[in-house]
Amino acid sequence: MNNVTFRTGGDWDSTTLANNGQEVLANALNVKLTAGRDEGGNPAKGGIQLGGEMTAAIVPQDASEQEIAIFPGRLQLDFPGHEVIVENTNPGFMFEVTRVWYNGADVSNEILDLEVEVNAETNVVRAFIVLFKTHFLGAPEVATYTIWS
């Protein structure tokens, strides 16, 4: 089972990647999660419960043509002012048991999208999360939070 932690203080010198406590020398980390859509593909309340898909992989420095899947396991992403944790410890990687936390709040039933692209070779670091937010007295909204760009 993988327990991957990505941390950055905002520059390459402060960026680390570890799996099960061991440093991983990688060229890239890519995560894409899509959930919370109705039958027509429109954003809807329910997040992970509505189904979806996810890919998450590390591209190691010593084998840049190879991707290593992260899940099943746990992924913690620490950016300045933002923390995202994605966990799926199901041996068969059933999507429906995935849990997502954003800055300490469980957003598993609100998540629409999570994308993270970290590529040392092309000097790209970008990450965002999209949540379906319901309001007691108003219409629901789709809120995009830029984690890093």
Query: Whole-prediction pTM value?
Result: 0.94
Quick one: pLDDT at residue 82? 97
Quick one: pLDDT at residue 65? 82
Phi, psi (5° rounding) for residue 109? -95, 0
Which residues, listed in sequence order, are joined to residue 62 by a DSSP beta bridge? none
Q: Is the pLDDT of residue 88 over 90?
A: yes
Please choose, from the candidates 4, 15, 5, the residue with its C-alpha nearest in 3D space to the C-alpha of residue 119. 15
Q: Is the pLDDT of residue 132 over 90?
A: yes
Question: 48-61 pLDDT, tens per residue?
Answer: 999 999 999 999 99
Domain total of the chain: 1
Q: How far apart are CA 93 and CA 13, in angstroms?
A: 33
Count of C-beta atoms within a 10 Å radius of residue 63: 10
Q: What angle do CA 58, 62, 64 make, to 5 degrees?
A: 55
Q: 127 lies in which domain range?
A: 2-148
Q: What mean pLDDT do residues 6-15 have? A: 91
46 and 131 in contact (C-beta within 8 Å)?
no
Question: 100-128 pLDDT, tens per residue?
Answer: 999 999 999 999 999 999 999 999 999 99
